[in-house]
A and B are shown apart, each in its own frame.
Chain A
Amino acid sequence: SQQGEEDPQALSIQEGENATMNCSYKTSINNLQWYRQNSGRGLVHLILIRSNEREKHSGRLRVTLDTSKKSSSLLITASRAADTASYFCATDARNSGYSTLTFGKGTMLLVSP
């Protein structure tokens, strides 16, 4: 079953606006990751935030993590048409020292020119 659940399922904005996507999860995690998937392509790793971190930045991306609420958010600032894609959060499921990622169902972001 999915560990992370993204919200909203779909988001439509204009270029230049900010896009915020949320992720909730159920169990304790070691880290949470965000991925982007362009239509018909594989997933691309965007950013990883560890359980002892509260906020992380990478270019126009800002990720927050609230372990008490078991939630994370991904903010894309000054969005561009090229940001149009599906965005997935993923949490690790530690198993005997190794991890496998459990993905949510994703948020489809449409950025219109």
Chain B
Amino acid sequence: IAGITQAPTSQILAAGRRMTLRCTQDMRHNAMYWYRQDLGLGLRLIHYSNTAGTTGKGEVPDGYSVSRANTDDFPLTLASAVPSQTSVYFCASSDDGRGTDGYTFGSGTRLTVV
């Protein structure tokens, strides 16, 4: 089934540890995005990538990094996790990144930092 695969589905992580959230899409979409969803705050953009090889910062990029080595993969890394990074993380993609179509979302990764 075409779509976005996120892994892991959930994780409990000790503060200070490094963690990479994986995101893979099989739709050959050019643009990919990482959002975090927190109760009462909605979804906030962390980082995005318009095409392979390029990335950009969103609204809440601090403490996170991304890479886009190819079209399909867009991993999100927490270099040194802190409790405020406890959240549900969603990866998304769109065909052209120009706002002419909707986003396709993954099922999310629920991360708890203790």
Tell me the A residues contacting B by CB distance below 8 Å.
1-2, 30-31, 33, 35, 40-45, 48, 88, 92, 94-95, 97-106
Contact = CB atoms under 8 A, between A and B. Distances in A.
A45 B98 contact: no
Contacts, number: 62
A52 to B, nearest CB: 13
Interface of B: 4, 31, 33, 35, 40-45, 48, 50, 56, 58-59, 90, 92, 97-108
Nearest to B40: A105
Given A42-B107, A88-B42, A105-B40, A100 B102 contact: no
B42 A44 contact: no
> What secondary structure prevails in chain A residues at the interface with B?
strand
B43 A99 contact: no
Contacts of A105: 40-42
